[in-house]
Chains A and B, each alone.
Chain A
Amino acid sequence: MLDVVKDLLVLLVSSSLVSNVVLCPFLGLCPFLGVSKKVNTAVGMGGAVIFVITIASGVTAVIYRFILVTFDITYLQTIVFILVIAALVQFVEMFLKKYVPALYQALGVYLPLITTNCAVLGIALTNVQKSYGIGFSIASGLFTAVGFLIAIVILAGIREKIEYNDVPESFQGMPIVLITAGLMAIAFCGFSGLL
């Protein structure tokens, strides 16, 4: 029991801070750079990502364990996962719209954008690669998505301040944001001493 808790804590630190999903394996860059102009939209996007990635890593882990492994067709994982994720996001959106309108109001507009997020597929594949069980897959998805939320909120906070600064003409817009992201990546490298 204690071992499981310890493993989970290590997983929490490693997947949310040390190898932060956007700053280290570069997954989910599009929403990270695209929806980080304001802190509240960034929080909304981060919430939606947590929601979708956690569900998607659970569902793909179950499908992998009980369908792909059982029938010995694990080589089909890429095709199966991407279709499952695409269908899942649409389904989650319809479900929320009908039954949890409050949550849909908060996350709705971000949900379809997340299907295009390579982080969802990337985490599903990483879980398989590291041969996590179903419980650990869900935990890994949740923690990675929390890491995404941390990164995007920090970046949005910095970008709100950059608005008032005098940036050289060629570096206005995306280049200065990329440099900010690079500096954040250096900062997050510091967490590698934690493990």
Chain B
Amino acid sequence: MREKNATVFWNGLVKENPTFVLMLGMCPTLAVTTSAINGLGMGLTTTAVLVLSNVIIALLRNIIPNRVRIPAFIVIVASFVTMAELLLEGFIPSLYAALGIYIPLIVVNCIILGRAEAFASKNGILPSFFDGLGMGLGFTVALTAIGIVRELLGAGELFGVPVINNVLKMISSAIGRSEPVEYVPVSIFVLAPGAFFVLAALTALQNRVKRKMQEKGLNADKIQSGCNFDCTSCEDSGCAHRFVDVNAPSGSVANVKSSSKDVSP
């Protein structure tokens, strides 16, 4: 039992990392990673909401009727997001101000409803807890890593400490220059276009890894390479049928998934 939970946790953290492998929840990933501390704060907030909502949904999975499960999940998630928002406003106002509108937008983060739909509604409380923790921490690690890259290039800082200038100052004094060399930050990396460029580099890397894996005959189906950002073709992330009953009879809104493929081939 304990081993199984460890597998579920590891799966979320590394093998199916929501950002680097599944490419879920890209809006907050791009928006809040202007600095490492913002990425860390956003990741931990999302983790808290994900763990709690996973546990509650796993608890209620036999009570919630199948037809109204998505609205029910949304209410549960939105309640925890509201709690997280109020707690942050009260206790960490600086982070609350930095994350702004992206805290309430955790409700529409693909990862949370995706895990509710794909895991918590089918599994027990303890595995759901570890799934939420693994996925959440995987998201946190990814956001912090992207935040570190963007902050280091765009501001020359790391968690607010001007590391690059400190290092340059040390080198300058070591070689005996009176005027230390100043690092000129590539400020585009903390602005909006930089977010797209960093993500482009990331998806290109992912494409490469996927191709190498396929050449070696490994199974790389899990790697979404950008999830194609095509919510209609997203089968199991919970993105596409967030408010739509997938198992509904034909003629209902669920048919959008198949019919829209004809429109955007």
Given contacts A78-B82, A82-B108, A86-B74, contact A175 B203 (CB under 8 A): yes
Neighbouring A residues of B192 by C-beta, 8 Å:
23-24, 26, 185, 189
- Minimum CB distance partner of B230 in chain A: A34
Checking A26, A76, A77, A115 against B31 with a beta-carbon cut-off of 8 angstroms, the contacting residue is A26
As a 0/1 sequence over residues 219 to 249 of chain B, the CB contacts with chain A under 8 angstroms (1 = contact) are 0000001101111100000011011100000
A105→B110 CA distance, assembly (Å): 28
Q: With the chains together, A37 CA to B229 CA distance in Å?
A: 11
- In the complex, number of A-B residue pairs with CB atoms less than 8 Å apart: 164
Report A16-51 residues with CB < 8 Å from chain B CB.
Answer: 23-35, 37-38, 41, 44
By size class, the interface of chain A is 35 or more
Classify the secondary structure of B's interface with A.
helix
* In the complex, residue of chain B having the shortest beta-carbon distance to the beta carbon of A42: B264
Q: Which B residues are CB-close (under 8 A) to A162?
A: none
A171, B204: Cβ atoms closer than 8 Å: yes
- Assembled-state Cα–Cα distance A30/B229 (Å): 5
- Which chain B positions have C-beta within 8 A of A178? 196-197, 199-200, 203, 226
A94 to chain B, nearest CB (A): 9
| B194 within 8 Å of A (CB atoms) | yes
CB of B101 closer than 8 Å to a CB of A: yes
Q: B243 touching A41 by the CB < 8 A rule?
A: no
Residues of B in contact with A, size category = 35 or more
Chain B residues whose CB sits within 8 angstroms of the CB of A38 once the complex forms: 264
Q: Say yes or no for B191: interface residue by CB 8 A criterion.
A: yes
**Are A122 and B253 in touch, CB under 8 angstroms?**
no
Which residue of A83, A115, A126, A186 is within 8 Å of B193 (Cβ)? A186
The 8 A CB mask of A108-138 against B (1 = contact, 0 = none) is 0110110110100110011001000000000
A31: chain B residues within 8 A (beta carbon): 231
Task: Output the least CB separation between B254 and chain A (Å).
Answer: 8
7 CB contacts below 8 A, A to B, read A35-B264, A78-B104, A78-B107, A90-B253, A115-B242, A129-B100, A178-B197
Interface residues of chain B, those whose CB is within 8 Å of chain A, are 26-27, 30-31, 71, 74-75, 78-79, 81-82, 85-86, 100-101, 104-105, 107-108, 110, 188, 191-197, 199-201, 203-205, 207-208, 211, 225-226, 228-232, 239-240, 242-244, 253, 256, 259-260, 263-265
